[in-house]
Amino acid sequence: MDNEVNIFLKVGIFEKIFSSMLRQQLQQKLLQKLSPQQIQTIKLLEIPVMELEQRIKKELEENPLLEEVSSDTVAGDALPEETGETEETGQDKTKENTEEFSLEDYLNEDEYIPAYKTFSHNYSPDDSRQRMIPYAGAASFSEYLQQQIGLKELSEKERQLASFIIGNLDDDGYLRRDLDSMVDDIAFLQNIHTTKEELEKVLHMIQELEPAGVGARNLQECLLLQLATKDQHLPEVQMAQRILKECFDEFTKKHYDKIKRQLNLDDEALKKALEVILKLNPRPGSSYAEAGNEAETVIPDFILEYKDDQFILSLNSGNVPELRISKAYNDLLSSAQASSKEQKEVMAFIKQKLESAKWFIDAIKQRQQTLMATMQAILEYQKEYFKEGDETKLKPMILKTIADKVGLDISTISRVVNSKYIQTHFGIFPLKYFFSEAMQTESGEEISSREIKKILQECIDAEDKRKPLPDEELTRILNEKGYKVARRTVAKYREQLGIPVARLRKEI
The pLDDT profile of the chain, 508 residues, written as one tens digit per residue, is 555 445 444 555 555 555 555 555 554 444 444 465 666 677 888 888 888 888 888 888 888 888 877 655 443 333 333 333 444 444 443 334 433 433 333 333 333 333 333 333 333 334 433 444 433 344 577 888 888 888 888 899 999 999 999 989 988 899 988 898 899 888 888 888 999 999 999 999 999 998 899 999 999 999 999 999 998 999 999 999 999 999 999 998 888 899 999 999 999 999 999 999 988 989 888 766 554 444 445 688 999 999 888 999 998 876 777 888 877 776 666 665 556 667 777 777 778 888 888 888 888 888 889 999 999 999 999 999 999 888 778 888 888 899 999 999 888 898 898 888 999 988 888 898 888 766 656 655 556 677 788 888 889 988 888 889 999 999 998 888 887 888 888 888 888 888 888 888 887 7
What pLDDT, in 10s, does the model give residues 296-325? 456 889 999 998 889 999 988 767 778 888
Confidence (pTM): 0.48
Spatial distance between the Cα atoms of 293 and 273, rounded to a whole number of angstroms: 34
The whole-number pLDDT of residue 113 equals: 35
What secondary structure does DSSP assign to 286-305, as a single string?
Answer: HHHHHHHHHTSPB--SEEEE
The whole-number pLDDT of residue 80 equals: 34
Spatial distance between the Cα atoms of 417 and 374, rounded to a whole number of angstroms: 9
Look at residue 70 and give its three-state secondary structure.
coil
The whole-number pLDDT of residue 58 equals: 86
Spatial distance between the Cα atoms of 23 and 25, rounded to a whole number of angstroms: 6
The residue ranges of every structural domain in the chain are: 2-132+300-375, 141-289, 438-505
Spatial distance between the Cα atoms of 285 and 22, rounded to a whole number of angstroms: 48
Q: What are phi and psi of 448, to 5 degrees?
A: -85, 145
How many residues appear in the chain? Answer: 508
Q: Is CATH 3.20.20.370 the classification given to domain 438-505?
A: no
Q: Which of 77, 95, 39 is CA-nearest to residue 322?
A: 77
Indicate if the alpha-carbon torsion angle 194, 197, 199, 201 is positive or negative: negative
Kindly list the distances between the CA atom of residue 249 and the CA atoms of 29, 140, 252, 253, 274, in Å, as whole numbers in the listed order: 60, 33, 5, 6, 14
Spatial distance between the Cα atoms of 296 and 287, rounded to a whole number of angstroms: 15
* Side chain identity at residue 407, one-letter code: G
Spatial distance between the Cα atoms of 381 and 434, rounded to a whole number of angstroms: 10
Buried b (16+ CB within 10 A) or exposed e, 241-268: bebbeebeebbeebbbeebbeebebeee
Q: Taking the CA of residue 136 as centre, how many other CA atoms within 13 Å lie in the half-sphere pointing to its CB?
A: 1
Spatial distance between the Cα atoms of 39 and 352, rounded to a whole number of angstroms: 16
